[in-house]
Amino acid sequence: MTQKYSLPYSHVTPEPAYLNRRAVMAGIAGAGLVAASGARAQEVPVFEIQGFDTTETPNSFEEITSYNNFYEFGTGKDDPARHAHALTTDPWSVEIDGLVERPGSYGLGDILAKVDIDERIYRFRCVEAWSMVIPWNGFELNQLLNMAGIQPSAKYVRFETLYRPEEMSGQNRPILDWPYVEGLRLDEAMHPLTLMATGLYGKELPNQNGAPLRLVVPWKYGFKSIKSIVKITLQEEQPVNTWKAINHREYGFYSNVNPDVSHPRWSQATERRIGGGVFASRVATLKFNGYEEQVADLYRGMDLSKNY
């Protein structure tokens, strides 16, 4: 049937990793993590410390919460911080439907009572070629999908953001097709790196970052990490994601971070790390955003320049 992961979450990101990274690294050195792909259990190489690399300091809370993309509140980087307070995030529920055993409306409180919240310090790379390092709190998406029960015929997961123009001012304008939609292949969705974030820096997720529940897929461009999710659908067909629908020559479905495949209007070989101030410099972009060892197997045999 569907994939199950038996890895101890603590091996991926022991908490409190960002406070105590050196100690933690000693603990996980040599620990392989087991990710099952289909029926075949496979050894994923030792988790590269890249996810919480000592050489990469997390961005500040201030940086992470003041430079955002959340077009439901406007297209300026400071628009979300200025306007997203208008969003009511409690009560919140997520409709899970399609090819699941237990479709229905899942209240956020009920979800949170059943999942393990971890801390994950991930690189975050926007398709616009800026990046940050973000200490998220959240749970693996596979826990939520397993809660709903995945039917054997499910192949993709479709996600939808809230549509509430009274509170999301940008939705009154034709900036994008509303609601914002994203999608993942089921094996991508089940991967232990794929997170449903509920917080950052140990605090509740700020509205501008996609409260109360947003996807984080660290090896893909930021637009895949859809915010303020209200609907999850398991289906057989590949979902049509918002940015691909707008311009399929520039934005694809897979959207894996790839320094070798340029955006038609700019190179993806380097990125600008936010927060460097006068020392801001461009750093090399890594394949799969530095998570190649964890995720490359998902794409064996695929031409990533075609499946961009």
Ligand X SMILES: Nc1nc2c(c(=O)[nH]1)N[C@H]1C(S)=C(S)[C@@H](COP(=O)(O)O)O[C@H]1N2
Q: How far apart are CA 122 and CA 59, in angstroms?
A: 11
Beta-ladder partners of 133: 123
Q: How far apart are CA 162 and CA 165, in angstroms?
A: 9
Question: 66-85: which residues touch Mo ion (CB under 5 A)?
Answer: 69
Residues making contact with ligand X (CB under 6 A): 68-72, 126, 161, 180, 209-210, 222-223, 225-228
Closest C-alpha to 230, from 213, 218, 247: 213
Q: What are phi and psi of 235, to 5 degrees?
A: -150, 170
Q: CB nearer to ligand X: give 225 or 258.
A: 225
Q: How far is the CB of 175 from ligand X (least distance, A)?
A: 8
Q: By CB under 5 A, which span of 10-18, 65-73, 76-84, 205-213 interacts with Mo ion?
A: 65-73
* Single residue of 192, 222, 239, 275 touching Mo ion by CB under 5 A: 222
55 annotated ligand binder:
no
Q: How far is the CB of 128 from Mo ion (least distance, A)?
A: 6
231 annotated ligand binder:
no
68 annotated ligand binder:
yes
Closest C-alpha to 72, from 173, 217, 204: 173
What phi-psi label fits residue 33: left (phi over 0), alpha (psi between -120 and 50 degrees) or beta? beta
Closest C-alpha to 32, from 42, 46, 51, 11: 46
**Start-to-end C-alpha separation, the chain:** 28
Closest C-alpha to 294, from 1, 13, 2, 15: 13
Q: How far is CA 92 from the centre of its chain?
A: 19
Q: Which does 9 bind (CB under 5 to 8 A by kind): Mo ion, ligand X, none?
A: none
225 annotated ligand binder:
yes
- Residues contacting Mo ion: total by CB under 5 A: 5
Q: Which does 180 bind (CB under 5 to 8 A by kind): Mo ion, ligand X, none?
A: ligand X
Q: How far is the CB of 105 from ligand X (least distance, A)?
A: 20
233 annotated ligand binder:
no
Q: Which does 251 bind (CB under 5 to 8 A by kind): Mo ion, ligand X, none?
A: none
Kindly list the residues in this chain that would bind Mo ion in the complex (CB under 5 A): 69, 126-127, 222-223
Binding residues: 68, 71-72, 126, 161, 209, 214, 225-227
Binding residues for Mo-molybdopterin: 68, 71-72, 126, 161, 209, 214, 225-227
